[in-house]
Amino acid sequence: MESVTCPGCQKTIRIPDDVLGQAAKCPFCKCHFRAPIRTPEGLTEPVLIKRNPFAASRTFGPGAALLFTGLLGLFTNVVDLAKTYANPEGFAQQTRDAFAGRFDEWTEFTVKWRPRAVWGFAALSLLTAGGGLAMLRMRRHGLAMIGATAAFFNANHCCCVLSVPAGAWALLVLMNPEVRAQFQRPTPPAT
């Protein structure tokens, strides 16, 4: 067994002697690299073949999930609002038909307040997408936390239920002190 430094994440890993000179995969960052070769002077440096795009940042996966579910929720809510405002009588009749015989006392309340609630869900979707974008850009930790939290409440449509696990994943990542420190690091000056 030989100890080498991964060219992707710079962590020390141990590789078997029979892998020297062949393609290998880091168990930490999952990048692919050519293992070093033994020479009379010692081991050569490992050569990076392919970097794992998800390993570069812990926030990429949950940020992309938040952005996707936020945009999906925004789209479905905007379509719902467009249908409601394009044909308010049709919306009212459809609601009355759906509630007939089961929830008669709530029918008129729903006809009046459902469009307003959809505006609220659209705002939650926008916050969720903004939080995902903040995670992808590694800027505005507070917005990312608010967006991840908003994902829990954005359940207007069945497709938006996907935002609950995305929000939970994002919150778990964002509460990690190492990740929070990455949000607070200063940006390097442009050259």
For residues 20-47, give the mean pLDDT: 86
**pLDDT one-digit tens code per residue, 147-189:** 999 888 877 776 667 888 888 899 899 998 888 887 765 555 5
Name the one residue in this structure whose structure tokens are 């609220």.
120
Our measurement of the distance from residue 13's CA atom to the centroid of its chain's CA atoms, rounded to an integer in Å, reads 29
pLDDT bin (cut points 50, 70, 90) of residue 130 is: very high
| Stated pTM of the model | 0.64
Sequence-distant (6+) residues with CB within 8 A of 58 are 173, 176, 178, 179
Give counts: helices (H), strands (E), the chain: 6, 7
Is the CB of residue 167 less than 8 Å from the CB of residue 152?
Answer: yes
For residues 89-96, give the mean pLDDT: 80
Burial state string for 124-134 with b = 16 or more CB within 10 A and e = fewer than 16? bbbbbbbbbbb
